[in-house]
Amino acid sequence: MELYLVRHGETESNKEKRYKGWTESPLSPKGISQAEKAGFFLGGKNIDGLYCSDLQRTLNTARIIGSCCGINPVASQLLREIHFG
């Protein structure tokens, strides 16, 4: 079994070097491109499942990757990052 861990693409807050915790921040154009590149790479693998947190930045990243792999992501609050408040 192989496991691939992928962080969400760059967000607008990342560009400003700000932590957002659970606060939503959209993917930047660069973040969308990063997700597309990850999807292109993973599309050549035999991916059985795709899991992500329920935050929009991770879900949007996973949807882009999933479209390249032919699978839909499964989102869960249990996969959220640390909440900085």
84 compared with 46, residue with greater pLDDT: 46
Domain boundaries, the chain: 27-79
Residues 6+ apart with CB under 8 A from 50: 62, 65, 66, 69, 71, 72, 73, 74
How many residues in total does the chain contain?
85
The predicted structure's pLDDT at residue 25: 81
Active site (catalytic) residues: 8, 81
User: For 15-67, how does the pLDDT look when each residue is reduced to its tens digit (9 = 90+)?
Assistant: 776 666 666 788 999 999 999 999 999 998 999 999 999 999 999 999 999 99
How far apart CA 29 and CA 72 sit, in angstroms, is 22
In terms of C-beta density within 10 A (0-12 exposed, 13-18 middle, 19 or more buried), how is residue 46 classed? exposed
The predicted structure's pLDDT at residue 19: 64
